[in-house]
């Protein structure tokens, strides 16, 4: 096979010292830190602007708007990244779909080059306007988190959106849809979203939070380290003083009219978080609901890391040393993607990863030790606050009762809790076995919205804890036309030898 | 210590389970020991193709019987007899197709050649650029994902005990075999190694070196698409398989090689290689232009052990009394259930209906490779 | 109510299943659809039940629409699609039947 032919379908390759997946607070600050230390950076992100979900920038349609702390932080990050334009290449609107560890032929030819890790490269396949490949010696995974919603009957009805989803609408296009809005779920995000909806002129019908006032009082000691955020929270409550707040309450069912959300049922919760007492009803055109965040570990898994179960950090997290150091040479994970600790911790964790990648590139473990040590205490403080918020956002065990047997748990395949239980009854006792039998997690979301609830059901039925299925490429659904360019001539396809006769 | 089992079958894939069922039927008390889930290795990671057109000539009689077994499993494994087309896009490929399919037809597969317009009438979604084609009405596919549930259920019905999540760490031989797993030591009078791609490392536990290598086969699936294809489709070189499932997803295979894992996990022996995947998908797009409107949902790697001559290991494990080995059946998904029956008969001391493949033979390198 | 003062780009027209929908140029299509009260974007393939935007960040795949570019028709999350004048889309409601 002529070499030019075998390379025919290969996309353009660009090189960097370090590739970073995700340009949120962690990935963005990892990039800045690496660039400050003289490394070239490929910063790859799905969104048009850096900032991630928390510092999501306004879209091109917004010409002017009052700033928020999040928009200002995002703008500052974008400006800082732009100042390093010569060394940080920001691949915006770009999706990493495959991560491979390959031999570096060029470096292996140079026998003088004996630096550790220099024999291997990370190779990232990118789906973008122009599909291409990035090769780098170090890889920093900063993929953040996505939202968990405990399934309840009707949660698939148009008009029900995630709390984090609501923040995306509010931050990027400053949109509040018409009609009565109910905001519900766990943790501080409920009050942030409600306050933003109110600020942008939306009609709030009610706030329903799973937490009690006592839960919040319990979190006060951890919040004392961040009085700025505490003040901000109190500001939200002041703004929301005219909105009915139902503490220790959960939405238990949504009803549709004409293919759209029409009304919600809600019930008070007992101390375990289980609904008890009477069912109430409220009209609503939109429900924003969320029950905490889940670390997005798929890229880290694809890079080769195993997962461990850490409920206090949001669920399954990549296996790393306690200081976040890599279990695989040249691989670093930072931010909420290795456990939900919040934005302040993510910034510092990103800097830590940037410093570790610098030390790795210099093949000198001492190179950035002092700088890394200086991050330890501020990180611990920030993480303490973040984990207190994670605890407030986490699901009380009893709330699983809102997922009735008829409730859809896998949105992609419309599988109910009963379907999953039926598969378990055939002695399918792992995620993998349930996935195979029912296609749970095989749809376009890749199991991101069902693996947690399936884990709950599995635990309830069998007592076992089973890790989510392994990550498969592509990390997001990608058009075949993007993945595989059309050859000009059929003969250009590098087909190999036929299979044995 | 409890009474030893008549036989411990290491490996709970199609081969191991099918053998266990035959043995239990013949009056033996087997146990199946599986490192992961039942039927969740190569048995379910493959594309589910049941095509006589891609079987090796010498294995055709086995494939015909295996195919009949899948048909009898029916709905429980998602069996679909759709008929299958094998396509050639160049004169060179047409020549290859003619030569190969003629030999396979001579070996008993009901394969005939049909004109490109006939193919397009039956499958208007296929490319207009077909040079030659063959058709086999027996071809089709099953849903390989259902392998696990199918065999779990069959083992349960037959009262055959099995262990999952039980990788075998050691096998010692005294009067009986003692098989060490993380949870327990299982004793048995006989042992059958049916660990597929892991056969080499399993056989080493008994001090036997079997010449097994592993192929890492890439399989991909699209999201649901409008109807594009109703039959199983292959390529003259064997480097493409295409089928659209009832739910609208299109499965793309063809044995394109991924990266082998340095340390294979219990679910996989390799990882997807973007370069070979691209070629695989480009060939698929060429054959079925409607794929241009779909998105790829997932690619993964199936795997198959093979010997230097690409024929099975099926028989006595060389040098180990009461030890047996079954694996490396090229086209093992199709042929596996039948090989299990033959193997079971052999272990029961009966004359198998068809000859087995002596693991102690001298392996000739396949000259076409 | 102290509604924030926000300036947006001029309005253009986008089309879903040939229905004209006003949108600010450069905003996400999902935003324009929700502003217009269009929540039901597709039908779940397994049970035909109505679905619409859920995660709003490109993960859940519930807000998919189909767009035709120069060569191909492909599905894309409307929460990741930018609105421009004359953008034509078809919904995935048809697969329900």
A489, exposed or middle or buried, with CB in 10 Å at 0-12, 13-18, 19+?
exposed
* Number of Cβ pairs < 8 A linking chain B and chain C: 15
Q: Are strands A41-44 and A88-91 parallel, antiparallel or unpaired?
A: parallel
Closest residue in A to C4 (Cα) is: A200
* Number of Cβ pairs < 8 A linking chain A and chain B: 162
Q: Tell me which chains share at least 3 CB pairs under 8 Å with chain B.
A: A, C
Contact C95 B295 (CB under 8 A): no
Where does C1-73 have alpha helices with state H? 29-35
pLDDT given for residue B1 in this prediction: 56
| CA torsion angle C34 C40 C42 C46 (round to 10) | 140
pLDDT at A106 over 90: no
Least confident of A323-327, A424-428, B177-181, B327-331: A323-327
pLDDT at B198 over 90: yes
Q: What's the Cα-to-Cα distance from A493 to each of A402, A484, A490, B235, C22, rounded to whole Å?
A: 53, 11, 6, 14, 45
- The 10s digit of each residue's pLDDT in A445-497 is 999 999 999 999 999 999 999 999 899 999 999 999 999 888 778 988 888 88
pLDDT at A78 over 80: yes
Residue with tokens 């078809």, as numbered in its chain: C90
Q: How close B178 gets to chain A, by Cα (Å)?
A: 26
pLDDT given for residue B106 in this prediction: 96
pLDDT at A307 over 80: yes
Q: How close A58 gets to chain C, by Cα (Å)?
A: 9
Contact C95 B223 (CB under 8 A): no
Strand A245-246: give its sheet, edge to edge: A160-162, A286-290, A180-185, A203-209, A245-246
Least confident of A97-106, A232-241, B306-315, B322-331: A97-106
Question: For chain C, how far is it from start to end, CA to CA, in angstroms?
Answer: 45
pLDDT given for residue C3 in this prediction: 53
Contact A493 B286 (CB under 8 A): yes
- Strand segments, DSSP code E, in A87-214 are 88-91, 95-103, 120-127, 132-141, 145-147, 160-162, 180-185, 203-209
Contact A485 B278 (CB under 8 A): yes
Q: How far apart are CA B255 and CA B208, in angstroms?
A: 29
Q: How far apart are CA A414 and CA A407, in angstroms?
A: 9
Q: How close A413 gets to chain C, by Cα (Å)?
A: 6
Chain C, 2 to 41: residues with Cβ < 8 Å from chain A are: 2-9, 24-28, 30-31, 34-35, 37, 39-41
DSSP letter assigned to residue A356 = H
Q: How close A377 gets to chain B, by Cα (Å)?
A: 37
Interface test with B, best of C44, C65, C93, C95 (most B CBs within 10 A): C95
- The 10s digit of each residue's pLDDT in B241-278 is 999 999 999 999 999 999 998 777 766 789 999 999 99
Residues 6+ apart with CB under 8 A from A462: A424, A429
pLDDT given for residue A111 in this prediction: 46
Q: Does A13 touch chain B (CB under 8 A)?
A: no
Interface test with A, best of B247, B297, B310, B332 (most A CBs within 10 A): B297
- C-alpha angle A37/A41/A42, rounded to 5°? 170
pLDDT given for residue C17 in this prediction: 94
Mean pLDDT of chain A: 92
Query: Residue A254 — pLDDT band, cuts 50, 70, 90?
Result: very high
pLDDT at A142 over 60: yes
Q: How close C48 gets to chain A, by Cα (Å)?
A: 9
Q: Does B36 touch chain A (CB under 8 A)?
A: yes
In the predicted model, what is the mean pLDDT of residues C38-60? 95
Per-position b or e across A279-290, b if 16+ CB within 10 A of its CB = eeebebbbbbbb
* Helix (H) or strand (E) segment spanning residue A476: none
Minimal CA–CA distance to B264: which of A56, A304, A151, A330?
Answer: A304
ipTM here: 0.94
Question: What distance lies between CA B261 and its chain's CA centroid?
Answer: 20
In the predicted model, what is the mean pLDDT of residues A259-278? 96
Higher pLDDT, B244 or A108: B244
Closest residue in B to C46 (Cα) is: B247
Minimal CA–CA distance to B240: which of B130, B350, B361?
Answer: B130
Where does A188-342 have alpha helices with state H? 189-199, 213-223, 227-239, 298-302
pLDDT given for residue A501 in this prediction: 79
- C-alpha angle A205/A65/A197, rounded to 5°? 10
Do you find a cis peptide bond into C53, omega within 30 degrees of 0?
A: no
Minimal CA–CA distance to A454: which of A395, A412, A409?
Answer: A409
Q: What's the Cα-to-Cα distance from A180 to each of A22, A151, A285, A362, C6, rounded to whole Å?
A: 35, 22, 5, 57, 22
Q: Chain B contacts of A9, Cβ < 8 Å?
A: 275, 278-279, 282
Query: Residue C4 — pLDDT band, cuts 50, 70, 90?
Result: low
- The 10s digit of each residue's pLDDT in B209-238 is 999 999 999 999 999 999 999 999 999 999
Question: Considering chain B, what percentage of its residues have pLDDT values greater than 90?
Answer: 93
Chain C, 48 to 87: residues with Cβ < 8 Å from chain A are: 49-62, 64, 71-72, 74-75, 79-80, 82-83
Q: What pTM did the predictor assign?
A: 0.95
Q: How far apart are CA B255 and CA B259, in angstroms?
A: 12
Q: How close B136 gets to chain A, by Cα (Å)?
A: 17
pLDDT given for residue A499 in this prediction: 79
Query: Residue A118 — pLDDT band, cuts 50, 70, 90?
Result: low
Contact A430 B96 (CB under 8 A): no
Residues 6+ apart with CB under 8 A from B213: B200, B305, B306, B307
- The 10s digit of each residue's pLDDT in C56-65 is 999 999 999 9
In the predicted model, what is the mean pLDDT of residues B43-68? 95
In the predicted model, what is the mean pLDDT of residues A23-40? 98
């Amino acid at each position: 096979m002529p070499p030019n032919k075998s390379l025919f379908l290969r996309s353009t390759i660009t090189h960097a010292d370090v590739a970073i997946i995700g340009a949120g607070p962690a990935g963005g600050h990892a990039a800045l830190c690496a660039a400050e230390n003289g490394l070239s950076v490929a910063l790859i992100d799905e969104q048009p602007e850096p900032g991630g979900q928390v510092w999501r920038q306004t879209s091109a349609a917004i010409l002017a708007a009052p700033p928020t702390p999040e928009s200002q932080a995002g703008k500052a990050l974008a400006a800082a990244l732009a100042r390093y334009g010569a060394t940080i290449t920001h691949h915006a609107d770009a999706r990493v779909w495959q991560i491979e560890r390959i031999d570096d032929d060029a470096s292996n030819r140079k026998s003088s080059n004996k630096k550790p890790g220099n024999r291997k490269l990370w190779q990232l396949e990118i789906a973008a306007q122009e599909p291409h490949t990035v090769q780098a010696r170090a890889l920093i995974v900063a993929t953040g988190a996505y939202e968990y919603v405990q399934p309840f009957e009707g949660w698939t009805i148009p008009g029900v959106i995630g709390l984090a989803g609501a923040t995306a609408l509010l931050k990027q296009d400053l949109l509040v849809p018409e009609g009565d809005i109910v905001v519900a779920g766990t943790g501080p995000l409920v009050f942030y979203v409600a306050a933003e909806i109110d600020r942008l002129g939306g009609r709030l019908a009610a706030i329903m939070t799973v937490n009690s006032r006592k839960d919040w009082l319990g979190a006060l000691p951890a919040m004392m380290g961040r009085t700025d955020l505490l003040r901000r929270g109190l500001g939200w409550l002041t703004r929301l003083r005219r909105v009915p707040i139902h503490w220790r309450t959960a939405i238990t069912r949504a009803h549709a009219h004409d293919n759209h959300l029409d009304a919600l049922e809600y019930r008070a919760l007992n101390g375990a978080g289980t609904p008890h007492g009477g069912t109430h009803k409220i009209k609503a055109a939109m429900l924003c609901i969320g029950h905490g965040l889940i670390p997005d570990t798929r890229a880290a898994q694809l890079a080769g890391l195993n997962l461990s179960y850490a409920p206090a950090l949001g669920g399954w997290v990549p296996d790393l040393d306690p200081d976040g150091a890599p279990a695989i040479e040249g691989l670093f994970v930072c931010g909420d993607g290795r456990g939900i600790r919040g934005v302040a911790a993510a910034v510092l964790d990103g800097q830590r990863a940037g410093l570790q990648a610098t030390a790795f590139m210099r093949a000198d473990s001492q190179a950035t030790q002092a700088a890394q040590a200086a991050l330890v205490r501020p990180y611990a403080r920030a993480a303490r606050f973040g984990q207190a918020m994670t605890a407030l956002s986490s699901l009380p065990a009893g709330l699983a009762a809102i997922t009735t047997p008829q409730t859809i748990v896998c949105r992609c395949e419309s599988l109910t809790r009963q379907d999953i239980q039926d598969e378990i009854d055939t002695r399918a006792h792992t995620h993998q076995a349930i996935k195979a039998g029912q296609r749970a997690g095989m749809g376009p979301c890749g199991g991101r919205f069902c693996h947690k609830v399936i884990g709950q059901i599995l635990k309830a039925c069998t007592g076992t804890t089973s890790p989510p299925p392994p990550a498969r490429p592509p990390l997001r659904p990608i058009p075949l036309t993007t993945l595989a360019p059309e050859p000009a001539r059929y003969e250009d396809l590098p087909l190999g030898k036929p299979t044995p006769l | 210590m409890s009474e030893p089992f008549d036989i411990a079958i290491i490996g709970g894939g199609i081969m191991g389970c099918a053998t266990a069922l035959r043995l239990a039927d013949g009056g033996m008390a087997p146990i199946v020991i599986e490192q992961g889930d039942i039927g969740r290795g190569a048995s379910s990671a493959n594309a589910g193709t049941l095509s006589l057109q891609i079987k090796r000539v010498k294995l055709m009689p086995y494939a015909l019987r295996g195919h009949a077994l899948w048909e009898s499993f029916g709905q429980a494994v998602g069996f679909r007899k759709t008929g299958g087309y094998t396509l050639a896009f160049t004169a060179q490929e047409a020549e290859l197709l003619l030569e190969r399919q003629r030999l396979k037809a001579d070996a008993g597969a009901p394969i005939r050649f049909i004109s490109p317009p006939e193919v397009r009438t039956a499958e208007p979604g296929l490319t207009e650029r077909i040079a030659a084609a063959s058709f086999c009405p027996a071809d089709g596919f099953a849903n390989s994902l259902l392998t696990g549930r199918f065999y779990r259920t069959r083992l349960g019905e037959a009262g055959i005990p099995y262990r999952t999540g039980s990788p075998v760490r050691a096998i010692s031989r005294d009067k009986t075999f003692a098989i060490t797993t993380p949870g327990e030591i299982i004793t048995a009078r006989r042992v059958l190694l049916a660990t597929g791609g892991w056969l080499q490392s399993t056989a080493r536990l008994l001090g036997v070196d079997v010449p097994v290598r592993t192929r890492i086969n890439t399989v991909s699936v699209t999201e649901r698409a409008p109807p594009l294809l109703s039959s199983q489709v292959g390529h003259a070189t064997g480097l493409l398989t295409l089928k659209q499932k009832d739910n609208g997803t299109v499965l793309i295979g063809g044995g394109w090689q991924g990266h082998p894992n340095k340390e294979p996990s219990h679910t996989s022996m390799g990882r997807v290689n973007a370069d070979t995947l691209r070629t695989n998908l480009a060939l698929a797009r060429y054959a079925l232009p409607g794929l241009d409107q779909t998105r790829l949902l997932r690619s993964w790697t199936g795997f198959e052990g093979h010997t230097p001559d690409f024929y099975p290991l099926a028989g006595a494990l060389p040098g180990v009394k009461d030890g047996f080995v079954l694996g490396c059946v090229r086209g093992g998904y199709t042929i596996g259930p039948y090989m299990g029956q033959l193997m079971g008969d052999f272990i029961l001391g009966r004359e198998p209906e068809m000859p087995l493949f002596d693991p102690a033979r001298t392996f000739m390198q396949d000259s076409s490779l | 109510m102290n509604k924030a003062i926000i300036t947006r780009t001029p309005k253009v027209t986008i089309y879903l299943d040939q229905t004209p929908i006003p949108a600010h140029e450069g905003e996400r299509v999902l935003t324009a659809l929700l502003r217009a009260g269009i929540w039901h974007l597709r039908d779940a393939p397994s049970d035909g039940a109505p679905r619409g935007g859920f995660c709003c960040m490109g993960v859940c795949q519930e807000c998919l629409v189909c767009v035709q570019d120069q060569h191909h028709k492909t599905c894309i999350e409307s929460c990741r699609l930018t609105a421009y004048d004359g953008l034509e889309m078809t919904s995935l409601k048809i697969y329900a039947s």
